[in-house]
Structure 1
């Protein structure tokens, strides 16, 4: 399990390590940065689970649920990515989005991982415009199919 490594010089949001002049073991810093970027770019998670999978596939990532167990103890709400040898944990930032393959929906981080609310289609009212309602339903359906809003 990779414990979070704090680098002396790193980016503010995701702690990606900077290289500095005269630095030894540059490959460690570059490889760590690339591993974190691989998890962060267009993030997709398999789902939200408490227990680390027994045989994860290289490149898979998960949201660590509460209460975390095993190698994930103390990593709640973080993204756990498997690189083939060890887990790398990423701290989410406010408004970060991931796609949850298990749910087929996006999740957003706001003081925890949340699902966006589903749109409410119009019903009732004193004047009913059936063409407008049909158009709204079609628009909502297309946005859901594109993954832009929850279904």
Structure 2
């Protein structure tokens, strides 16, 4: 093997000359992927004057130095552009939007959070979607129907963790 399986980081070999070049290249790539943040996502043309360490998610139809790297994370380094092919689950912080983007099913999803539940302060506030609340039916007194519907809505919201349970 000459590179790692996931992100193609260069590996050192016994007796290899100029090992520091391969080691430094691996560190540069790791640096761009460790807690990654990008300036923007879906950009087709490389910026004219990037600063070292700045990164972008390349758009689907890139040009110039990015032409052969659609969807990649492009990081500018002292040695030029470095590209990381995204793997499923890779998340980056998109500075221009103030949200995360996640690589899933062959595409970047911006601002989508995948979770089974959300806890705040150790308390579940959002979980799996429950059953739908049926519309009120029957009855002769509108007030009792409205109260019943409101109680059902509140019970469902409590079950989902969207509001706290009532104090007894």
Fold match by TM threshold 0.5: yes
| Structure 1 residues 137 and 40, CA gap change in structure 2 (3 angstroms) | farther
Residue 10 of structure 1 corresponds to 3
Question: How far apart are residue 57 of structure 1 and its match?
Answer: 1.1
- Calculate the aligned-residue CA RMSD, in Å: 2.7
**How many angstroms apart in 1 are the aligned matches of 2:20 and 2:87?**
26
Residue 136 of structure 1 corresponds to 162
Q: Which has the higher contact order (CA 8 A, sep 6+)?
A: 1
Question: How far apart are residue 28 of structure 1 and its match?
Answer: 1.2
Q: How does 1:89-100 map to 2 (within 5 A)?
A: 89-100=83-94
TM-score norm. by structure 2 comes to: 0.67
For 1:136, what is the secondary structure of its paired residue? Answer: coil
**How many angstroms apart in 2 are the aligned matches of 1:105 and 1:78?**
18
For 1:113, what is the secondary structure of its paired residue? Answer: strand
| Structure 1 residues 84 and 96, CA gap change in structure 2 (3 angstroms) | same
Q: How does 1:13-52 map to 2 (within 5 A)?
A: 13-48=6-41, 49-52=43-46
Q: Which has the higher strand share?
A: 2
Structure with higher Rg: it is 2
Gaps of 5+ in 1: 1-7, 139-151
Q: How does 1:39-118 map to 2 (within 5 A)?
A: 39-48=32-41, 49-110=43-104, 111-115=106-110, 116=112
**How many angstroms apart in 2 are the aligned matches of 1:34 and 1:73?**
24
Gaps of 5+ in 2: 115-125, 127-131, 134-148
TM-score norm. by structure 1 comes to: 0.74
| Structure 1 residues 59 and 132, CA gap change in structure 2 (3 angstroms) | same
- Aligned residue pair count: 128
